[in-house]
Amino acid sequence: MRKLTGALAFAAVLATNAVGFAAEPKAPFELPPLPYAANALEPVIDAKTMEIHHGKHHQAYVTGLNKAIAADKALEGKPLEELLANAGTLPAAVRNNAGGHWNHSQFWRSMKAPGTGGKPADALAKAIETKFGSIDEFKQKFQTAGTGRFGSGWVWLVVTPGGELEITSTPNQDNPLMDVAEVEGAPILGNDLWEHAYYLKYQNRRADYLSAWWDLVDWAEVSKRFDAAKSAAN
Ligand SMILES: [Fe+2]
């Protein structure tokens, strides 16, 4: 099995550690609790959406992943990051559910109550300005990538193994830690483009959800991930 190194290895453990897993989590995986109340993100994301998204959708990925691993002895004891790194050669049920579990784990920890997430720290702000022109231009490009994803998926800000910032989008529950990703890197921020993330409040208006979502981003957390990914990349 392919092993992750550098920025990718860091990124793989980042979200799992952040939600209180062991350093190298392995099956049986567990649903991490939300780091805030279900209504904490209102009015940007309503409590009902959070309850279903976390308690039903994320739980289903965890359950599905444990079931897929139990069905294949060769996968027992494999850390989540190793499953992701080899997603292209593993059964679809492992790829989809391992991705779903990792993606949602980072998602909950990327957000805070509206207006309390602060700004990118200096190093991240400078890197964003150098790469995208300004924070606003970065947000626009991230939203464009998000609205441009046909069907379900995710939009990401990643640190590539070379230490560069890139915006990328992945289909379904794939992510940039997977060997199948178009752009591989350490995801430091990801937004969920599945309708289950926004449909109750925004219905078909994905662009409105993407635009409103910035009010929730926990920039201290994202800046911390950036610093760690940079030091692992260089
Ligand atoms: Fe989701």
pLDDT tens-digit map of 110-152: 999 999 999 999 999 999 999 999 999 999 999 999 999 999 9
pLDDT in tens, 17-45: 554 444 457 778 999 999 999 999 999 99
Please work out, in degrees rounded to the nearest 5, the angle formed at the alpha carbon of residue 177 by the alpha carbons of 156 and 128: 35
Whole-number Å distance, alpha carbon 56 to ligand 1 midpoint, is 10
CATH number of 1-234: 3.55.40.20
pLDDT of residue 26: 75
Could you report the per-residue pLDDT of 66-115, keeping only the tens digit for each? 999 999 989 998 988 889 999 999 999 999 999 999 999 999 999 999 99
Is there a binding annotation on residue 54? no
Report the chain's mean pLDDT, rounded to a whole number: 91
CA of 12 relative to ligand 1 center, distance in Å: 18
- How far apart are the C-alpha atoms of 204 and 84, rounded to whole Å? 30
215 is in an annotated binding site: no
- List, in sequence order, every beta strand (DSSP E) within 98-144: none
Q: Which two tokens mark 224?
A: 């911390």
Q: How far is the CA of 55 from the centre of ligand 1 (A)?
A: 11
| pTM, rounded to two decimals | 0.93
The residue among 231 and 196 whose pLDDT is bigger is 196
> 195: CA distance to ligand 1 center in Å?
8
Cα dihedral sign, 181-187-192-193: negative
> In the chain, what are the domain boundaries?
1-234
Q: What is the pLDDT of residue 124?
A: 98
